[in-house]
Amino acid sequence: MPGRFSGRRVVVTGGAAGIGRACVDRFIDEGAEVVILDHNGEAGERVLAEIRARGKDARFVALDLSDSAATEAAAKALDSELGAIHVLVNSAGLVHVDGRQSNPFVERGLAGWDPLTTVNLKAIAILVHGMLPALTAGRASIINISSEAAFKARSDRWIYDMTKAGLLSMTRSMAAALVSRGIRVNAVAPGGTITEMHLNDSPDPEAKRAEMEKQKTASLLGRLARPHEIAAAITFLASDDASFITATTLQVDGGLQRLG
């Protein structure tokens, strides 16, 4: 039976790992033609090999979103080559700067401002603008991946949190700007999710996974999310099932924001 995305072309940034990778698998399983954008060429080729081993296929484009000129060139090239893009998932994001998980305002000031704002905000605007003819041709759905961090007050990760909050405003503005072109724009704000990003930051990834699995107070559901659960929400917003939803943020956080 044909999937929801049969005959549709989907572009996923950050598609070589984590939530982006889960989206790639979900879209492919539902019949889409998928283009993966990721800065990690080795991981991208590994994902392609795994997809092809399942009898499926995809395309991989290595792209460093911190390079605005390269991002603009890639967006224009994809716009020209693909002709029509039906879904764009902006999943790629930068969390750490210079290997630091903490970036306190008082101690470090604006350190990290440029790389975080470039990847988490500017690159998304560049991609959407550069691909606009193809997105319009596909009457596309754009999904921007924010974070539950957009709703937090943290002094030590303030720039990251600010970019994720800013992305929600950008989503609403893009939705208003692109509605006349038949393009819907929404955001997903995941709660804590067990991904390679968190595991690879630890000297003992398996111990870190076990620790994360035990975080019973991480949400009302008493656990962290798995990437495929976030991907399910993203594919819903991308599908015709969400045809009357735009300029909206879907919080996929297990009830975290309502946790007493």
Lay out the sheet containing 249-252: strands in order across: 59-62, 33-38, 9-13, 87-90, 141-145, 184-190, 249-252
pLDDT tens by residue, 57-101 = 999 999 999 999 999 999 999 999 999 999 999 999 998 877 777
207 has pLDDT over 60: yes
Does some domain include residue 165?
Answer: yes
Q: What's the mean per-residue pLDDT of the chain?
A: 92
State the CB neighbour count (10 A cutoff) for residue 241. 11
Looking at the predicted structure, is the pLDDT value of residue 208 above 70?
A: no
Instruction: Write out pLDDT tens, residues 21-35.
Output: 999 999 999 999 999
The contacts of residue 245 (CB under 8 Å, 6+ apart) are 184, 186, 237
Average pLDDT over residues 38-46: 97
Residue 102's pLDDT is 78
Q: Of 79, 160, 176, 155, which Cα lies nearest the Cα of 116?
A: 160
Q: Active-site residue numbers?
A: 160
Report if residue 200 sits inside a domain.
Answer: no
162 in any annotated domain: yes
Confidence of residue 118 (pLDDT cuts 50, 70, 90): very high
At residue 106 the predicted structure's pLDDT band, cuts being 50, 70 and 90, is confident
- Residue that the structure tokens 């309502």 belong to: 258
Cα separation, 237 vs 8, whole angstroms? 15
pTM: 0.93
Q: Quote the number of domains for the chain.
A: 1
Which residues make beta-bridge pairs with 12? 36, 89
Give domain status of residue 55, yes or no: yes
Identify the pLDDT of residue 244. Answer: 98
- Sort strands 249-252 and 184-190 into parallel, antiparallel or unpaired: parallel
User: Residue 204: inside a domain, yes or no?
Assistant: no
CA 65 – CA 43 distance, rounded (Å): 16
CATH number (domain holding residue 165): 3.40.50.720
Q: Is residue 229 part of a domain?
A: yes
Range of the domain at 19: 9-190+225-251
In a domain, 2, yes or no: no
β-sheet bridge partners, residue 189: 251
- Residue 97, classed as helix, strand or coil, is strand
pLDDT bin (cut points 50, 70, 90) of residue 162 is very high
Please give the pLDDT value at position 125. 98
Does residue 153 sit within a domain?
Answer: yes
